[in-house]
Amino acid sequence: MNKLSCLIVMFITCGVCDAQNLIPNADFESTANCINADLWISPSLGTPDYYNVCNTGGLWGVPSNYNGFEYPHSGNAYFGFLIKNSGAITVEWREYIQVQLLNPLIVGNTYYLGMFLSLADDQSQYGSDAIGALFTTVPVFQNDNLHFVQIPQALNQPGNFIINKNGWVQIMMSFIADSAYSYITIGNFFDDANTGYVPVSGGSWPRAYFYIDDVCLSSDSAFCISTVGITEVKESNEISLFPNPFQDNLKITLNNNEINTVIIYDCTSREILKQKFISSVSLNTEQLAKGMDLYEVRNKNGVIKKGKVVKD
């Protein structure tokens, strides 16, 4: 297989693999700056918030920011948006994120949509089940901060309230494409009267505000679960992989004295290199083909780091 044909975002996405994630930049990384995720936009005047580890000022940083404290589910960044609002500001304030799909949907096919969500602890006095996705053939924009009136094709299950404020929970949805949709818009598409919510402890505002990370859309019912179902164990250990891009050697250092394991996968999820180490290891990568691969570093507690590596 020509690895240059593989596009790896957070999940493994490959043009010649059996399954494909149709969401570009699914973990909201930024190559140009720290204030915008590549490719994603806000389609209304209710602007979502973008959080990245390179925003060191505090308001939009990671893991600590204006709305709470949360590590990314993967990578360095995530979005946050308002699902339900109440108070002095416009009551039905809504925020959305939108992106163009890698390929248009095929009419008649069933698609499966997954995403990871976390309730912002400092802002949210409510949990909610009101999250869904609108698919359109052209980009949509609304010149206000209210809810979109279009009916979303994919909806979270009613009663499946997002109430966790410590870590991420994955939700899954499915729908049958009735058009060759090319865009996805994610948020709450209901007014307050039809927005389900439950009270949760803590929070300084009577609102529900979600962090979102790692969005997956596939025609394979198992793909989004099998490829994004591992949550990283958040530890204070500093992990370094260098150089990246690399050629014939890749060095990994980890500030602990435990037995760790590094695993490198190709774009079909096939394990191509695995090695145990304590503190540091220098991998001989001469046998790896040029291109992008996915790596995981594990200890006894689970995955503590994962990401992308590139061989020149």
* Runs of H (alpha helix) within 16-115: none
Within 13 Å, how many C-alpha atoms sit on residue 273's CB side? 20
**Residue 268 has what pLDDT?**
57
Residues in Cβ contact with 230 at an 8 Å cutoff, skipping those fewer than 6 apart: 296, 302, 303, 306
**Residue 19 has what pLDDT?**
60
**Residue 123 has what pLDDT?**
76
- Give the pairing of strands 126-128 and 77-84: unpaired
Domains of the chain: 3-228 (2.60.120.260), 239-311 (2.60.40.10)
**Residue 118 has what pLDDT?**
94
**Residue 237 has what pLDDT?**
53
**Residue 105 has what pLDDT?**
97
Determine phi and psi for 243, rounding to 5 degrees.
-75, 160
**Residue 311 has what pLDDT?**
86
**Tokens linked to 13:** 């996405």
- Give the pairing of strands 280-284 and 249-254: antiparallel
CB-CB contact of 34 with 76 (8 Å):
no
Rounded to whole angstroms, the Cα distance separating 182 from 195 reads: 27
In tens digits, the chain (312 residues) has pLDDT values of 444 444 333 333 333 334 689 999 999 998 877 888 999 999 999 899 999 988 876 788 888 888 888 888 888 899 999 998 875 445 688 999 999 999 999 999 999 999 999 999 877 899 999 999 999 999 999 999 889 999 999 999 999 999 988 888 889 999 999 999 999 999 999 988 899 999 998 878 888 999 999 999 999 877 787 444 444 444 445 788 888 888 889 999 888 788 888 988 776 557 788 899 998 999 999 988 888 787 888 877 667 777 778 888
Residues in Cβ contact with 275 at an 8 Å cutoff, skipping those fewer than 6 apart: 261, 262, 281, 283
Determine phi and psi for 182, rounding to 5 degrees.
-120, -5
CB-CB contact of 54 with 174 (8 Å):
no
Q: Note the pTM of the prediction, 2 decimals.
A: 0.68
CB-CB contact of 58 with 65 (8 Å):
yes
